Structure 1
């Protein structure tokens, strides 16, 4: 695992059980400490997936089911003072794909989103504050919920597709953020000016958007699709 991880982040290191035990209790969540106190992989996996079920059992049931069957490695890593859990997930070709779940205790580093964060649906806040600050394919930092600092503010970009839209634009870029990235320029977007409606949009960089989608349905489905590539 470490050889693969260091291809993309040279300073990353796997932590031993003893190194994790020596961390300050305020550095990582209590459930992380519990996971890595276990010696047996089966017990680590059970404790980790229990945390997923406590936070997003309904919202990410397909993802949790896949992890239950195909999660084969769990490690904690450190780089430059930051901590993550690395998930080794087996795909249908018997390859192991590495996913990163960052530390939910990380500082909130997104000035534009901070203005709207209190309006964010409680289920999303729970994910980011209790489970992980993003969960995505490690090598590309995509095919998953991105870390807070990487959540895309649509108003920061030029979107050529706007000139080719078949219907008038139905979201406001100035209040829209992409929480899920597929690595090809497409996002699952929340427009905070429409937060009380069916509140997400599939925003494509080169195709017509799909409005009024259920946020978690798409997140759950697309995350699981990523596991199977």
Structure 2
């Protein structure tokens, strides 16, 4: 199965596009990636973007991408323009991750932009507005359009385990989702990279974890 056939299995009407088709929508750094004609140069420039903007936060993720990323492509879907990462796995199979283009100013106005940590603003602004496993759209950093408040859900685990919640559900948001009942949260009243909450749908949460340490660890787990 070729790349486009695979991508269309999980999304309708996926198109591969060139830099000329999306020039006005893309940042200069990503333009430089897709102006390159060879896979090796596209990969090199992609890794450079990650290193420039989040090397400290996502060092293990970057190391994995450096070893396993074989190409990047631009696609157009109903969600907009995305970068598709083509990764060669340990068994020789190919898997795909998706990164939406960096956030636009108008999207910030619809989001709790001013409340999030600067390191997360940097990721959304220069790397991707969300980065996750393509097929499931999980196991990754959520796009701002999908970041939701904890208070929007009825969490049965709270009553089942008689949890004593140590944060405000109304000011706490989900920024990472595994798709298997694991979440990384930030409380906007007490945010900071050291103060994230690891939330589970079937067991007690873990408090005061470094946001990027957990995200970095879980991204690499997802790759594997």
* TM bracket, shorter-chain basis: over 0.9
| Offset at residue 196 of structure 1 (A) | 5.0
Q: Work out whether residues 105 and 129 of structure 1, in 8 Å CA contact, stay in contact via their aligned partners in 2.
A: yes
Give deviations 1:99-146, integer Å, cap 9, x for gaps. 0000114442785xx3x4212110000000111000000111111101
Structure 1 counterpart of 2:16: 14
Q: How does 1:46-85 map to 2 (within 5 A)?
A: 46-80=44-78, 82-85=80-83
| Offset at residue 184 of structure 1 (A) | 1.8
Structure 2 counterpart of 1:138: 134
Structure 1 counterpart of 2:149: 153
Q: Work out whether residues 102 and 133 of structure 1, in 8 Å CA contact, stay in contact via their aligned partners in 2.
A: yes
For structure 2, list consecutive stretches of 5 or more residues without a partner in the other structure.
none
Q: Name the CA distance, whole Å, in 1 between partners of 2:188 and 2:159.
A: 23
* Structure 2 SS opposite 1:35: helix
* Structure 2 SS opposite 1:193: coil
Q: Work out whether residues 23 and 31 of structure 2, in 8 Å CA contact, stay in contact via their aligned partners in 1.
A: no
| Offset at residue 97 of structure 1 (A) | 1.2
RMSD: 1.8
* Structure 2 SS opposite 1:136: strand
Out of 205, 209, 215, which is 1:213 matched to?
209
Worse-superposed segment, 99-108 or 173-182 = 99-108
Q: Work out whether residues 29 and 105 of structure 1, in 8 Å CA contact, stay in contact via their aligned partners in 2.
A: no
Structure 2 counterpart of 1:108: 107
Q: Work out whether residues 110 and 149 of structure 1, in 8 Å CA contact, stay in contact via their aligned partners in 2.
A: no
TM-score with structure 2 length normalisation? 0.93
* Structure 1 SS opposite 2:12: coil
Q: Name the CA distance, whole Å, in 1 between partners of 2:95 and 2:192.
A: 36
| Offset at residue 46 of structure 1 (A) | 0.7
Structure 2 counterpart of 1:193: 189
Q: Which runs of 4+ in 1 moved over 3 A?
A: 22-25, 164-167
TM-score with structure 1 length normalisation? 0.91
* Structure 2 SS opposite 1:177: strand
* Structure 2 SS opposite 1:84: strand
Q: 1:30 to 1:145 in 2, by over 3 A?
A: same
Q: Name the CA distance, whole Å, in 2 between partners of 1:174 and 1:145.
A: 20
Q: Name the CA distance, whole Å, in 1 between partners of 2:23 and 2:56.
A: 32
Q: How does 1:38-53 map to 2 (within 5 A)?
A: 38-53=36-51
| Offset at residue 23 of structure 1 (A) | 3.3
Q: Name the CA distance, whole Å, in 1 between partners of 2:81 and 2:147.
A: 19
Give deviations 1:67-98, integer Å, cap 9, x for gaps. 00000221111124711100011222222110
